[in-house]
Structure 1
Amino acid sequence: MDFDRMDIPRNILVGSYIGNSHLRPALEICKILIERGYNVALVAPGNFTPSSEYPKIKQFSTGPKLDTRDLPNVYEEIFFEEYTFKKFKKQRKISNSEYLDRFKIYMEAATEFKPDLFFCDFLMNEACYDVAWKLKKPIVGISNGLTSRSDSPYRSDPSWGCHANMENEPFIERFRCAIIIPIMIIYESRSWVNELNEIRSKVGVSPVSSSIERVKDSLFFADTFFGFEVPHHLPPLIQEIGPVMQDEYQPITPQFSQFLSIHKRTMFVTLGTQVYTTQKNNEILLKSFIEAIDKNIIDGIIWSFSSSPNNEFPSDIILSNGTTFETSYILENKFPHIYITEFSPRFALLNQTNVKLFFSHGDSRSSHESIYTAKPMLLLPIAFDQMGNAEKLVNVGVALSVSKFNLSVYDILIKIEKLQIDENIQINVRRMQVLARINSKRKYRAADLIEFLNIDSHNIDNNNFNNFNGKNQIKVKNEQENYSNYANAYLRELITPDSRMGFVKGKYLDVFVKEE
C-alpha cells in the first residue's frame, strides 16, 4: 500500500488469553505493520516480548505462562477421557474466573498505550473484545480456525460427536449434527455465558447472548486455508489468511544435525508442550518406536517429550521378539537411535531431508508446518481442535491417525511404514505443500486490511460517525446495537446487504413466495 501515513492512527493492541502458539499469527502480521510505521503492544500471559523475534513490541503481562500441568484435576479429565463440548465448559469456568483481572489489565494497557485498534485472539478472550467495545475502538479478531460465525451445515466437529465433513453421512446423522447438536450446545453454553454476563455487569459491560455476538460485526481472520479446511462460502468480513508462517525460526542445533547425519529415515515426534497422554500410552509409544527401529521400518526417532505428573514409564520395555530394554537407558539418550529432548526447533527439523515423517497431536500450527514442509503425518489427537484437524488431514490424504483409547504397537508400525511407501500419500503431500506455500503470502493481505480498517475508522471519527451511519434518527435497543451500527459504518464495504435486510428479505423469501 502506498499512501501518506503521517496522520493515521498508529497504535495496535494485540491480546490473547492463551498466549503461546495462539499469538504467533497475530504477531507475524504485526511485524509487517511495524515495518510500515505502526506501534504494537501485547496483552498476554508469560514473558513473550520483547524478544529477538519481536523486539519492538511491548508486553503487558496477564500473569505466568499458561501451563496445563498446573491444573491436573481439570486437564487430566480433558486429555485422558473423550473430549467433548461439555469438557470445554470446564475451560470456560476457569477463564470466567479470571475475567475481571484480565479486564483490568486490558484497561490499564489501553490507558497507557492508547490503542487505535484492538487485534484480539478469539479463544476465551472476551476481556479483549469487551474493552474494545467499552472504548468504542475497532476490533480485528483472529483464530486458528473457522469459528461458528462461518459454519455451513455440511461442516461439523468430532468434539460434537460428528464428522468434520458431513457430505457422505446418512440423513439421520446430518439432521442430528445440523439441528439437534447445535441446539444442545446453545443450551449447554447458557450457564457459562450467563455467569460471564454477571461478571461483566461489575465493570459496566453489557451482556451478550453468545461468545460470538461481540465479534459478529468485526473483521475476522482465520489462520487456515481451504484444502486444509472443508471448503464453504465465507462472508467478506471473515478472511482466511493462513497458513501464517513465521519469517524466522529457531535454527537446527549441532546435536540434531549430528543425529540426522547418521539417521537417514528419521521420524520426528512431538505432542507439543501443553498436551499429554496416559502413562500406558507413553509406554506403547516408546515400545512402538523401538520396534520400528528393530524392524528397520525407520532408523531414527527424535522425540520432543514434555513430562507431566503422569508421564512415568515402567522400568523395562519388552519387545515382541522377547528383547528387553531398560527404559532409563533410552530416556537418558544412551540408545543411539532414539534422541529424547524436552524442547526442539520443530520447523527446522521438519525442513530436514532425513526427517521422513511427523508424529503429532495435530494442532493447527504443527499441521500447517508439516504441510508446508511436505512431511506426511501420523496423528494422535488428544483434545480441542485436534480430532477435527486429524479427520481433515486424513481426508485430504496426507496423514493417518491412531486413537488415544485404542493405541497399539502393531497399528502404529503399519501406519509408519505406509506413510513412507504409499505413492498417493506422497503425491497428496506435495500437492498440499504447493497450496500452503501459495496461501502463506496472505499475511500481507491481512496487514493491508488492518490498515484499511484503521484509516477508515479514523476518518469516520474525524468526520462524525452519524454522517456515515445514516441511522442517527433511529433509536437503538441497547449499547451493543449502537456499537454494531458504529462498526457497520466503517466496515460497510465488507458487509453483505442481507445482514441489513432482515431474514425474510435477505433470503428473498418474500419474492420467492409471491412468485409461487
Structure 2
Amino acid sequence: MKTSLILSLAALICATVNALELQPTFREGNYKHVAFSASAGGSSHHTWVLSILDEVGQRGHRASYLTTSTETRFGRPYSTVETVDIGSMVFYKNNTMMTDLADGKSMIDILPQMISLLATNYERDYAILLDYFKRNEVDLALCDHFMEVCIDAATTLNIPYIVTSSLEFTSETGASYINNRIDALQQPTTEFETLYSRFHSKFISQWKLLYKLYPVVTKIAARKRALGIPAKFVLPEETWKHSIKLVNNVFGYTPARSIGPMAEQVGPIIPKSYTPLTANLESYLTLHSKVAYIGFGQSAIPTKKDVLFVLTTLLESLERGYIDGFIWSIFNSAEMFPETVVTNSGITYAVHDILNNNHPDILMLSWVPQTAILLHPSTSVFVSHGGLGSWYESIYAGKPMLMFPFFGDQPSNSFTIERQGLGYILNRKADPAQVSKLFMEVADKEIIKNVKQMQALTQIHSEHGIMRGADVVEEVLYTNKGGRLPHRVPAGTRMSFMKANNIDLYLILVFGIVAASSLVVTGVYKTYQRIKMQKKLKNL
C-alpha cells in the first residue's frame, strides 16, 4: 500500500515537472505596425495611450506616435515607441478660449471656437498622416477623439482605427439618465437634476448647440471635400460606429450603465514610472506633515479672482493650523497673482515674497513631479481642477481632494467626488475664511475610509489596464475583416426592429389573447342567449 502511494506521488511530481505551458502563436512571422495620433488636450489624451502603445511595441510590433512639436515630450519615456513630429500646433496657447472658459463662458459658445481651432492645420496634418500611413504600411491607427484628421486619413486608406478617449461620450456608452454631451457635464447623471434642467438640456441646449455648430462644421466639411474626402453633417459617433472606442475609465469614476460591444473600459491607466522628488521637495516634505498640494493641470487657466480666492483660502488654513504648508504648481497661473493678500486675521502677505519662496512653509514652483508629491506621506490633500488624470493619481495615492473645477468634465468629476465622500468642492462665492475649514474637514475618518476603498478599486483596475488595452489593440489587428469586427456586431443589427425587440412575438401574444378572449366572450354570450331562449319557451 505504501509502495503504491509513493509511486503515485512520484508520478504526480513527474507529471507536474514535465507539464507544458501554452504559448500563443498568432504573432509568429506576422507582426504589425500600429500608429497613434493625438495633438491637443494635454497628458490625459496622450500618456495612457502611449503606455498601451509601449506594451504593443514590447510584444514585437512596430509602434509610432504622430503628434505636434510641443507634445513630442510625451513620447520620450517610451523606448519602444517611435515619436514623429508633424509640425507646430495652433490651438489655445495664444487664444482667449481657455480664459473665457475659466471666466464661466458657456461651453455652447466656446465649442464652435474649439472645433475651428482643432481644424486649423487640417490640410497639413491630413497630408502628413496620409503619407505616413501609406509609406509605412500602418495596419491600425489609434486616433484621439480630438484628432478627426487621423480618422479621416485611416478611412481614406481603409485602415482600421480605434478611437481613444477618457470619457464615454457616444450613444453606445450612454443612457437616458447619463449626461455625456460636452455641453451638459455639470452633473454626470440626471439623478439630482430638476425637471427644468432636464427639459432644457434635452430640448433647448442640444438644439442650440447644433445651431451654433452648423456654420463651423459645414466650413470644415467643405475643406474636406476639396481634398476629396466625402464629408457630411453627422455626429462623430455615426462615423465611428464600426470602430472600437477605447476608454481610460472605470465604473466608480464614471456612472454605471450598460455599454455596447464596440466600447472597452481599460482604465484607470496611470503611468507606472514617475519622476522622483527633487532634493528641495524632499527636504521640504520631510519638515512638514500636513501639506496641501495645488495643481490645476496643463490646460486650465485660473483668473486673477480665482487665484486670489485660492491663495487667501490657503493662507487662512495655514494660519489656523489646518495645514502646515502648501506646494503650488503655478504652471498656468504665475501672472495671475495679486501683489498682496490680507487674511481675516488682518495679516498682510507680500505675494512677491511668496512667489520667490521666501516663506518657510510655502513652495511655488512652475513644474513639479505631481505623482511623487501625492505619494509622499506628508501630503494630506490635493487641491485640483478635477481633471480625470489628476483624480486617478490622487486616489491611487490615497489622498482626499478639494475641487476647484473650470470646464469640460471637471464640474462633473467634482460633483462625483463630493457625492462619493472623497472630498469637497471649493465654492468660489464663499468667504475664504469659511472655506478654509474644508482643509480640516477633508481629514474626517469617513472621508479617509471612502478614499481607501476607492484607492483599492483604482489600484486593482490600474494593475492590468495597459495589458487589457494592448489586448484590444491586437484583437483589432488580427480579427478585423475589411476594418470591421463582425464578432462584435450584435445579431440585432442584422434583424428588423420588430424581430430584434420581439415586438412580433408580443403582437402574436396580444392577438392570441384577444382572439381567445373573443371566443370566450362569444361562447358566454351564446350560452346566455340559449339559456334566455329556453326560459322563454318554458314560460309559454
Q: Considering the TM-score relative to the shorter chain, is it more than 0.5?
A: yes
Matched position secondary structure for 1:69 = coil
The reply to whether residue 23 of structure 1 matches residue 23 of structure 2 is no
- Which residue of structure 2 lines up, in the alignment, with residue 494 of structure 1? 488
Extract unaligned runs of 5+ from structure 1.
461-485
Conserved? CA contact 2:185–2:412, under 8 Å = no
Distance in structure 2 (CA, Å) of the matches to 1:502 and 1:118: 33
Counterpart residue number, 2:191: 167
Q: With structure 1 as the length reference, what TM-score do the two structures score?
A: 0.88
Q: 1:427 to 1:299 in 2, by over 3 A?
A: same
From 441, 446, 457, the equivalent of 1:435 is 457
Query: How far apart, CA to CA, are the structure 1 residues paired with 2:327 and 2:346?
Result: 24
Output the amino acid matched with 1:322. G
For 1:214 and 1:425, locate their aligned partners in 2 and report how far apart those are by CA, in whole Å: 43
- CA change 1:387–1:47 in 2 (3 A) is closer
Alpha-carbon contact 1:270-1:360 (below 8 Å) kept: yes
Of 93, 108, 113, the match for 2:116: 93
Name the residue aligned to 1:142: 164
Q: In structure 2, do the counterparts of structure 1 residues 67 and 346 end up closer, same or farther at CA, with 3 Å as the change threshold?
A: farther
Q: Distance in 2 between matches of 1:345 and 1:66?
A: 27
Counterpart contact for 2:244–2:263, Cα < 8 Å = yes
Q: C-alpha displacement at 1:285, in angstroms? A: 1.6
Matched, 1:113 2:136: yes
Letter in 1 for 2:302: T
Identity of aligned residues (%): 22
1:373 corresponds to: 397
Check the 8 A contact 2:177/2:189 in 1, yes or no. yes
TM-superposed deviation, 1:329: 0.9
In the superposition, relative to structure 1, how do residues 13 and 258 fare at CA in structure 2: closer, same or farther (>3 Å)? Answer: same
Larger of the two Rg values belongs to structure: 2
Residue aligned with 1:235, SS:
coil
Of 345, 350, 356 in structure 2, the residue corresponding to residue 332 of structure 1 is: 356
- State whether residues 40 and 91 of structure 2, in contact with CA within 8 Å, keep that contact through their aligned partners in structure 1: no
Q: Helix, strand or coil: the match of 1:367?
A: helix
Using the alignment, how far apart are the partners of 2:185 and 2:371 within structure 1?
Answer: 32
Tell me by how many angstroms 1:307 deviates: 4.0
Aligned to 1:425: 447
The answer to whether the Cα contact below 8 Å between 1:156 and 1:166 also exists between their aligned partners in 2 is yes
Alignment of 1:187-336 (within 5 A): 187-208=211-232, 209-307=234-332, 311-336=335-360
SS at match of 1:344: coil
Shift, 1:308, TM fit: 5.1
What is aligned with 1:452? 475
Residues 66 and 93 (structure 1 numbering): CA distance in 2 closer, same or farther, change over 3 Å? closer
CA contact 1:251–1:345 (8 Å) conserved in 2:
yes
Aligned residues: 482
Contact 1:103–1:128, Cα closer than 8 Å, also in 2:
yes
Aligned partner of 2:534 in structure 1 is none
Q: Which residue of 2 aligns with 1:468?
A: none
Shift of the 42–302 alpha-carbon distance from structure 1 to 2, 3 Å rule, reads same
Counterpart residue identity of residue 468, structure 2: R
Distance 1:6 1:383 in 2: 47
What whole-Å deviation, never above 9, does each CA across 1:20-74 have from its counterpart, x for those lacking one? 31111111001111110011111111252685511332222233367733213x3
Deviations 1:165-219 (A, max 9, x none): 2124454544444455444444443333322221111222111412222211101
Deviations 1:479-506 (A, max 9, x none): xxxxxxx444xx1111212233254443
Q: Does structure 1 conserve the Cα–Cα contact (< 8 Å) formed by 2:381 and 2:402?
A: yes
In structure 2, relative to structure 1, the CA distance for the partners of 1:168 and 1:98 (3 Å cut) is same
Distance in 2 (alpha carbons) for counterparts of 1:127 and 1:69: 21
RMSD: 2.2
Unaligned 5+ segments in structure 2 are 1-22, 511-540
Asked if 2 retains the 8 angstrom alpha-carbon contact of 1:12 and 1:117, the reply is yes
Indicate conservation of the 8 Å contact 1:49/1:59, yes or no: no
